[in-house]
Amino acid sequence: MKNLLVASTSTIFGGHFLQYLLPELKEHFKGINTLLFIPYARPGGISYDSYTSIVAEALKDFSFAVKGIHEFDDAKLAIDQAEAVFVGGGNTFVLVDQLYRQDLIKPLKKRLENGIPYLGTSAGSNIVGLSVKTTNDMPIVHPETLEALGMIPFNINPHYLDPDPDSKHKGETRETRIKEFHSCNNTTVIGLREGSWISVKDKQMLLKGEFNARIFKQGKAPFELPPNSDLQQLI
Catalytic annotation, residues: 122, 137, 159
Nearer to its own copies, 73 or 144 (CB): 144
CA distance 190 to 213: 7
Interaction of residue 190 with its own copies, rule CB under 8 A: no
DSSP letter assigned to residue 230: B
Are 202 and 1 contacting, i.e. CB atoms less than 8 angstroms apart? yes
CA atoms within 13 A on the CB side of 21: 27
How near is the Cβ of 138 to its own copies at its closest, in Å? 4
Q: Give the x-and-dash track for 78-117 against its own copies (CB under 8 A).
A: ------------xx-xx-----------------------
Q: Does 50 bind its own copies (CB under 8 A)?
A: no
**What is the pairing mode between strands 197-201 and 3-7?**
antiparallel
Whose Cβ is closer to its own copies: residue 28's or residue 133's? 133
Residue 56, phi then psi, degrees to nearest 5: -60, -40
Q: Does 12 bind its own copies (CB under 8 A)?
A: yes
CA-based nearest residue to 214, from 168, 174, 186, 171:
174
Among residues 61, 165, 169, 221, which is the contact residue for its own copies, using CB under 8 A? 169
Q: Which residues bind its own copies (CB under 8 A)?
A: 9-14, 43-45, 90-91, 93-94, 132-142, 145-146, 159, 161, 168-172, 176-185, 194
